[in-house]
Amino acid sequence: MNENEITNINSDNEPRQASILGQGKAHSKIILMGEHAVVYGVPAIAMPFKAASVSVKISPSKTNRSWIESDYYNGPISLMPNDMANLKKVMELMLDSFNLPQKGLHYRIESNIPIGRGMGSSAAVSVAIARAIADYYDVELSDYQLQLIVNQGEVIAHESTSGLDTLMSSTNDPVMYQKSEQPVPFSLNLKAFLILADSGIEGQTKKAVASVRQLFEERPKFVKEALNSIERFVKLGYQAIQNRDVTELGRLLTYNHYYLNQLGVSHPSLDRIIQAAWYAGALGAKLTGGGLGGCAIALAKTAKDAELIAEAMQLAGAKQTWILNLESE
């Protein structure tokens, strides 16, 4: 979604609803290792990123029309732009799956997750919508049903999806995740800091996933070898986390980036930011999420190192940076 193209067709301004009867929340995510490869069954390591979150509140609509009120679009659901089709799908599936009345609802979406930065904004909004509908109608929504319904929306947003974004926006622990397998939660508890840097360039997960698929069709041997290497790095990365070996983890993050670059999903601006992190003393750095823009991560040993690295990433073009203490994750 393009933040510059904020649509507002609220000409007949539906009045803000006073009573809020349903509420759902979700948060952003950071993929430490294994993005893209995870679509092909390779495990990935990811953690929730709660500083960026979304809340959806539902109240009865004053008219019979269902309505969305958000910074991105404000208007009837029937006229939502195409790039919100995933949200519409989730609403329809929720109402149909639980045999809920199709009456007018007013959805108010509040989100501070940057859109199109590989931070799982679309999955998080969908999860919050599904949870708000369940809360509004007081129905029991199991984690399994939630994943199933939101992933249908994600298929529209990204075509192929591993389901990782959906899981991470609704889960509270870091996980080792493999498609169609039960996710393995763990605690990071590392004496290290993670810097998340937003390149400010809109990432294009759908395009990136499609381009990896095309590369796979054109050069299957090359892509299979890359996927095998990423799988090895992810497994070693998980071991490094268990062994609290942050130097080894950093090296593996960087290796993972080389291979993502080979798969064609990095971006010159991201590479500049990542290189700046390396030069500033990061233990490792890579793109995170869908790529072709979006965000990068870097690993630092101390809080002071993290600040210097974040500064270097900003000087190299990052528009916003966050520092996370991994001892408390």
Residue numbers 212-241 binding ligand MEV by CB under 6 A: none
Region from 87-95, 160-168, 182-190, 295-303 binding ligand MEV, contact rule CB under 6 A: 160-168
Q: Can residue 39 be called a binding residue for ligand MEV (CB under 6 A)?
A: yes
Q: Can residue 209 be called a binding residue for ligand MEV (CB under 6 A)?
A: yes
Residue numbers 281-300 binding ligand MEV by CB under 6 A: 289-290
User: Nearest-CA neighbor of 30 among 253, 213, 209?
Assistant: 253
Q: How far is the CB of 165 from ligand MEV (least distance, A)?
A: 5
Give the Å distances, CA to CA, from 91 to 86, 104, 105.
9, 12, 10
Q: How far is the CB of 227 from ligand MEV (least distance, A)?
A: 12
Site string for ligand MEV, 234-273 (x = CB under 6 A): ----------------------------------------
Taking each helix axis from N to C end, the angle separating 121-137 and 85-97, rounded to the nearest 10 degrees, works out to 30
Q: Which of 158, 206, 251, 257 binds ligand MEV (CB under 6 A)?
A: 158
Give the integer Cα–Cα distance in Å for 195 and 146: 30
Up-side HSE of residue 237: CA atoms within 13 Å toward CB?
A: 27
Residue numbers 120-149 binding ligand MEV by CB under 6 A: 120
Tokens of 198: 């937003």
Q: Which of 25, 33, 35, 49 binds ligand MEV (CB under 6 A)?
A: 35
Q: Coil, helix or strand for 49?
A: strand
Give the Å distances, CA to CA, from 251 to 198, 236, 271.
21, 10, 16
- Please tell me the count of residues contacting ligand MEV according to CB under 6 A: 16
Give the Å distances, CA to CA, from 65 to 105, 119, 262.
7, 31, 48
CA angle 133, 175, 183 (to 5 degrees): 70
Q: Which of 204, 205, 254, 266 binds ligand MEV (CB under 6 A)?
A: 205
Site string for ligand MEV, 4-33 (x = CB under 6 A): ---------------------------x--
Binding site for ligand MEV (CB under 6 A): 31, 35-36, 38-39, 118, 120, 158, 161-162, 164-165, 205, 209, 289-290
